[in-house]
Amino acid sequence: MQKVPDQDRNPGLFAKPSTRVDDEKKMKQRNIVCVLLAVGFLLSVTSSCTRHREDLDYSYDVVQTWSLPELQHGEIIQFDTVFWEPDDTVSLRKLIVDDSICTGRSVLEIGTGTGLVAILCAQNGADSVVATDINPAAVANARYNAAMLAEEMELEVRSVSTDAPTAFAVIKDKEKFDLIISNPPWEDGKIAKPADHAFYDPDFELMDSLLDGLPKHLNPGGRCLLAYGHAPAIVRLRDQAKQRGFDFKILDDRKLDELDKDFLPGMLVEIRIPMKLPTAKP
């Protein structure tokens, strides 16, 4: 039997140097490609696990995203039918970020919308934040933004039923807060669709229920901060607060009687409960 030459049995050992170098280069390139594919796969899996959560609702269309300097990171995403006007709460956001009004405090936001203000409270040291809304899209929107921007923080979003559309409908009897904030609907009007809740407060029932619930849900020494850009609503709020014996103060250098009926940025109003409320007259 003819002996198989060693070169035939192991041609790589006797190949020309240039051929061996080319083969080694190709092998290294294949290895690099395999490593990159593996890394890409792991990143895609990690990304999908981080972004997709069973407790979030992904069924709503995204209208737009916003980058704001007050946010510590990321962007605010706005879902379809969710109200968004950043100029409404300029002065409130400034107090949260620059004056640390939330630090170490429990906070309730009524009518959270995209969740921006509640998220800023959480990012700026609030001990806990509860945010509510009556629009299902807003609840889903706020929960999504909170998951992306305040995941490790104490922020809970609660849904208000249209059957009980009052300010404290989803707040427990004994729940109290150091700070209650809201950019509520400004005008009296009828509700035809969920998005209307951001604009209209029929017969100002939300305003009245908020004022009526403050003695029960605002801690002693606490503050209620409301942002309005509608002069008649501020006048009514002032009158109703004073009728209840509350302290009322406008936190704005502008004169209300010198402003248009509707104006921006919104005006911030502070309401406090005196340590001893006046006794009602018989």
DSSP letter string, 188-218: -----SGGGGGTB-GGGHHHHHHHHHHHHHE
- Residue segments in the chain with a per-residue pLDDT below the cut of 70: 1-51, 278-282
The pLDDT score that the predictor gives to residue 21 is 46
The pLDDT score that the predictor gives to residue 143 is 97
The pLDDT score that the predictor gives to residue 12 is 40
Q: How many CA atoms lie within 13 A of 135 on its CB side?
A: 28
The pLDDT score that the predictor gives to residue 278 is 65
The pLDDT score that the predictor gives to residue 14 is 34
Q: Is 177 exposed, middle or buried (0-12, 13-18, 19+ CB in 10 A)?
A: buried
Beta bridge partners of 187: 200
The pLDDT score that the predictor gives to residue 225 is 98
